Amino acid sequence: MKDFRKVLSVLFLLAVLSVLFMGADVPADYVMCASFGPVLWPAGADNMGGYKGRIAFIPETSVSAIPTLPKEAKATADFVTATGAFTFLESGGKPTPIYATRATVGYKAESQGETDCKSYKISGEFFHPGKKVEAAAFARQICNTPGYLIIEDNESQQLIGQPGYPCTVTASFDGGKAAADKRGWSFTFEADSPAPMIIMGTPIDIDALFTGVAPTPPEGGS
């Protein structure tokens, strides 16, 4: 009986030691490279909502590389900041600029997935006025064309879509019934993402895209 108790004691001790030292054998892939940082809010900071009425779309098939999130986050910003640039397959290729009516660009990031399988569902919308042929053609082209969207606010440009998880855009048209009704194209977009938002580390020159192409939204507005 005494020998049996000794064996149990030894087994218990080994179990405790294995738990204490198990962390030493954890592969580096399972360890976050950056620790949690403080989440504060400075008094008096600006926090105007909404997005500007300037959007850019890049078809997935038109580029060989895009800005991406780093595989290992070494700083807090790395978790939500994409590095790199768009590499277009055709010489002179560039994003397609889209004008959106003021205060119609929306963006949401909602948690999705089961326990231990969480990610984010990105969704949003914008409105383009009128029934010009160019807008109708774009609506048809984008119908089954995954790609990447760039939207902007007063702080930064945001990228929707990553390699293997592109952004899908759908369009619908409403011509209105009365003279005072809104008439134009309503676009919605969505994408799956590991991050609630992806900031462009190096913003594109969106001013150059819109020069001579579409009206620039009023300053300070969307």
Average predicted confidence (pLDDT) for the chain: 88
Residue 222 belongs to a domain: no
Instruction: Count Cβ atoms below 10 Å from residue 167 Cβ, excluding itself.
Output: 23
pLDDT in tens, 35-61: 888 999 999 999 999 999 999 999 999
pLDDT in tens, 53-104: 999 999 999 999 999 999 999 999 999 999 999 999 999 999 999 999 999 9
Say if residue 23's pLDDT is above 70.
no
Residue 11 belongs to a domain: no
Say if residue 33's pLDDT is above 90.
no
pLDDT of residue 11: 55
Residue 217 belongs to a domain: no
pLDDT of residue 131: 96
Residue 159 belongs to a domain: yes
Boundaries of domain holding 117: 54-210
Residue 118 belongs to a domain: yes
**Residue 184 near residue 101 (C-beta atoms within 8 A):** yes
pLDDT of residue 13: 54
Residue 40 belongs to a domain: no
Domain count, the chain: 1
Task: Report the DSSP pairing between strands 199-200 and 81-82.
Answer: parallel
Residue 102 belongs to a domain: yes
Between CA 98 and CA 156 the distance in angstroms is 18
pLDDT of residue 20: 43
Residue 163 belongs to a domain: yes
Say if residue 219's pLDDT is above 50.
no
How much is the CA Rg of the chain, to the nearest whole Å? 25
Which H or E run includes 169?
strand 168-174
pLDDT in tens, 130-178: 999 999 999 999 999 999 999 999 999 999 999 999 999 999 999 999 9
